[in-house]
């Protein structure tokens, strides 16, 4: 009983001195655990005289209860202190200024491409997309481009896989292959635009890049004429450029259109007086166009006697250059924030 009295006298000080929950658990095992003095005494009660057992048992229970209460109080205090510390560590000062995270925006080419598409959608055109890796059949043969045409040379076209003409794979040189793919699965009337990246073995200069963006347009219906083509392109140019720029159509040749033409726009850099951007001509080539060649209709099973149509391909990059007065196409691809943040 003397040992129990000493235990009870020392317990409050020992418990109050504990500084963390882990140490408190260890002290609890020592004071009232299975190997503690109290537990050992309880196991030896049977060896005491019968008349002493109730007195010793009651004293043991009182000591056990008192020590357990002291432990519970200290545990609650330690838990509150730990919670207070956590709240302090995670405290947020709501009076601090917000972190200014810069907000990004769409690239100028994406803006231009979407605007071109929106203009033609407003004119009643559907939108279609096709693969960037094409077969020679869709890129050339079905578009009335003979095997001897210089555009099929490696100096102009990037080949992915050589082989038989029907198996050759190329990085598409224009979005025109979707003319064929679309007409193969749709009957006239057809009014569709095809946006996408195209690839050519071009040398980089102010207005040319080996990779650029193009929008192909195709209209097929009964009695479509060259006047419809000119009117459509004129409406597009007015919607995109306004009335500040002058445009002109010049005769040209494309294997898949007949007659064919190029549309030029007055140079944005020199206002038509001549500079290095326009090769001193005062004009920048903007797009190629023309009436769909009957051979193209025959390749997709259309009757050239029953339908006619026009097609055009416009370079989105050049549209952006002309509208915003950017003097080199490389600025669209270098991701220089000093340039991109202007748009």
Condensed to tens digits (0 to 9), the pLDDT of residues 213-257 reads 999 999 999 999 999 999 999 889 888 987 777 788 899 999 999
In which band, very low, low, confident or very high, does the pLDDT at 323 lie, cut at 50, 70 and 90?
A: confident
Q: What is the pLDDT of residue 36?
A: 80
3-state SS, residue 67 = helix
Would you give the distance in Å from CA 194 to the centre of its chain? 20
Q: Name 252's Cβ contacts closer than 8 Å, sequence gap at least 6.
A: 260, 261, 262, 288, 290
The mean pLDDT value for 145-151 works out to 90
Long-range contact set of residues 327-331: C-beta below 8 Å, sequence gap at least 24: 327/206, 327/269, 327/277, 328/206, 329/204, 329/205, 329/206, 329/207, 329/208, 329/209, 329/212, 330/204, 330/209
3-state SS, residue 297 = helix
Q: Name 68's Cβ contacts closer than 8 Å, sequence gap at least 6.
A: 32
Confirm if 119 and 125 have CB atoms less than 8 A apart. Answer: no
The mean pLDDT value for 143-147 works out to 91
Parallel, antiparallel or unpaired: strands 126-127 and 190-199? parallel
Left, alpha or beta for 172 (phi > 0: left; psi -120 to 50: alpha)? beta
DSSP for 73-93?
HHHHHHHHHHHHHHHHHT---
Q: For 108-340, CATH number?
A: 3.30.930.10
In this predicted structure, the answer to whether residue 187 has a pLDDT above a threshold of 70 is: yes
In which band, very low, low, confident or very high, does the pLDDT at 172 lie, cut at 50, 70 and 90?
A: very high
| CA-to-CA separations, 46 to 37, 38, 51, 77, 176, in angstroms, rounded | 16, 14, 11, 38, 102
Task: Delimit the domains of the chain by residue range.
Answer: 2-89, 108-340
Q: Which is higher by pLDDT, 306 or 207? A: 306
In this predicted structure, the answer to whether residue 48 has a pLDDT above a threshold of 90 is: no
Confirm if 136 and 235 have CB atoms less than 8 A apart. Answer: no
Residues 214, 216, 222: CA angle, nearest 5 degrees = 170
The mean pLDDT value for 24-36 works out to 82
In this predicted structure, the answer to whether residue 163 has a pLDDT above a threshold of 70 is: no
In which band, very low, low, confident or very high, does the pLDDT at 134 lie, cut at 50, 70 and 90?
A: very high
In this predicted structure, the answer to whether residue 330 has a pLDDT above a threshold of 80 is: yes
Phi, psi for 116 (deg, rounded to 5): -60, -45
For helices 108-122 and 226-241, angle between their N-to-C axes, nearest 10 degrees? 130
Per-residue DSSP letter, 149: -
The pTM score is 0.66
Cis check: omega of the bond before 259, within 30 degrees of 0: yes
Instruction: Flag the least confident range among 10-14, 22-26, 36-40.
Output: 36-40
Q: What is the pLDDT of residue 212?
A: 93
Task: Return d(Cα 206, Cα 277) in angstroms, integer.
Answer: 6
Confirm if 267 and 284 have CB atoms less than 8 A apart. Answer: yes
For 115-146, letters b (16+ CB in 10 Å) and e give: ebbebbeeeebeebebeeebbbbbbbbbbbbe
Share of the chain above pLDDT 90, in %: 43
Cβ neighbours of 241 (radius 10 Å): 18
């Amino acid at each position: 009983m003397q040992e129990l009295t000493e235990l009870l006298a020392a317990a409050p000080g020992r418990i109050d001195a504990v500084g963390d929950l882990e140490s408190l658990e260890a002290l609890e095992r020592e004071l009232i655990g299975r190997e503690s003095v109290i537990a050992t005494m309880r196991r030896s009660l049977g060896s005491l005289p019968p008349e002493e057992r109730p007195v010793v048992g009651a004293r043991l229970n009182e000591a056990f209860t008192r020590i357990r209460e002291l432990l519970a109080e200290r545990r609650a205090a330690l838990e509150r202190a730990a919670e207070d510390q956590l709240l302090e560590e995670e405290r947020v000062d709501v009076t601090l200024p917000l972190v200014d995270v810069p907000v990004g925006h769409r690239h100028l080419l994406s803006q231009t491409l979407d605007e071109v598409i929106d203009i033609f959608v407003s004119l009643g055109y559907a939108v279609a997309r096709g693969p960037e890796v094409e077969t020679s059949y869709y890129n050339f043969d079905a578009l009335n481009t003979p095997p001897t045409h210089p555009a099929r040379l490696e100096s102009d076209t990037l080949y992915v896989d050589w082989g038989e003409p029907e198996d050759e794979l190329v990085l598409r040189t224009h979005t025109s292959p979707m003319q064929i793919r679309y007409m193969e699965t749709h009957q006239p009337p057809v009014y569709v635009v095809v946006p996408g990246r195209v690839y050519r073995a071009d040398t980089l200069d102010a207005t040319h890049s080996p990779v650029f963006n193009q929008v192909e347009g195709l209209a097929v219906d009964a009695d479509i004429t060259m006047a419809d083509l000119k009117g459509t392109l004129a409406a597009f140019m007015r919607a995109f450029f306004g009335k500040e720029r002058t445009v002109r159509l010049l005769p040209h040749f494309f294997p898949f259109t007949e007659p064919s033409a190029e549309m030029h726009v007055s140079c944005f850099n020199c206002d038509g007086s001549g500079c290095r951007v326009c090769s001193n001509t005062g004009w920048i080539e903007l797009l190629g166009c023309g009436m769909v060649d009957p051979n193209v209709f025959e390749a997709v099973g259309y009757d050239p006697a029953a339908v006619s149509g026009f097609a055009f391909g416009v370079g989105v990059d050049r549209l952006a250059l002309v509208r915003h007065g950017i003097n080199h196409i490389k600025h669209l691809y270098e991701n220089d924030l000093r340039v991109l943040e202007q748009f």
